[in-house]
Structure 1
């Protein structure tokens, strides 16, 4: 069995925690040509409730009223959590991958806090926000009455998990209070500007570069944008449904189906490729080596 060290990669990503914050203005931005990237992950409502508890504890300590978790705002925050796995906000006010302001996802949003990390707790996340003056401002907004809370986990390269946390504050009262403590799976289509859909950001990855004859393996498209690279954040796995025209340069060696699943047929090499379905015309590819079943494989190949 071929195994890789999970701990080494987890520590590397954990060190790349970053925090972003944004007030929201009314400035308009022109619509840009876009594509869509499909990402699957989970919202941990139990962690979201813990985040809210820590936020309200800090607000009470500073003479502020407790916030209610609004279901509509939380749904928006979840989407923002998924969006930040593609585009990490570089400026304040925050912008989304489609180029629009964060407020465009929900007109009730007046302020937003975001954080990304590999392994941490809700308490640590809120402490990080408290230690940042711009995030602390959001936590202590005197006119805030409700908040949307996202505790999103997506799979990054090699199967490691990356966590994204989002608070979307509002001066409106919670219309419907979110009380769930479940862990729910979501698949989100993230509308992304073509300027963020660069060939250098998209790659075709696989667990291994060498497989045995008759072995099957899932190819995994990944995305790692400019800020992700700068902060050392691992690439996000993109669903194969975002790509089309899956092909093998040598099907007799390795064939591939429409979902990016390959099969080793005989010893040799083949290049597997796929095209981005929407937005910029990009083809990504990876060379795969197939060896006889009786040949030993280096797990790091």
Structure 2
């Protein structure tokens, strides 16, 4: 039976050192938007990690996916390259685009799809197969395709992986994902491992709580996860800085997002034109703390409306 959306995706747990036991595979960790790509007999469906269908936001990737054989399902990351680096804010701008504006954004900010797993081929569910088998099948499927859909690099050599870990941050790749060669695809579980250089990362501001002039918290979309989260309360100085940055942005509608310890809270949305450096930590709940707002040029990105993709 063909796999159909929505599908739960496999996840990774954070580790502090590079695993080196036998039987491991190493891949660069691309900070983009997680996407499952379905090539079905009647067309293409693109699904975000949350299960939301985002096909209309990425017409360039949907067109490219039509070259895949029917019955193919891929898992991977959407990235946008700008000046030789991955630009997560540009990815969020693409994901938040309305269908009417998506083609124009696709022309200005073309997306690439870094495929790191194949969940089905020819209509056969490959998730129970070993990663080594799935990786070989992935490379076969994409061998003649080329950009914008390509497999992520992979190595079984821990020394090469260590070299990647030290050198790839220059292009915006902030770590590695480590998988066991004998491992099936475990949807919804943190069976993979990820190693990052720091506990900080860039996020895109898609809304705020409290007043626009002095927001209490920011609502953020993090790399690899399209579900908005509410930051911890902003300190006074950062509230003033955030208010100044939010004021020029066109106000959007309202939504709800998850706040640690509080559950779903309402927020006002803004276009995804503002980035923040954040730290994430876990006590009873995962807490996202805004460290600083990043300087952005609103003219660089034409994204409009809050998005969760």
Give the TM-score, by structure 2 length: 0.28
Bigger radius of gyration among the two? 1
Give the TM-score, by structure 1 length: 0.28
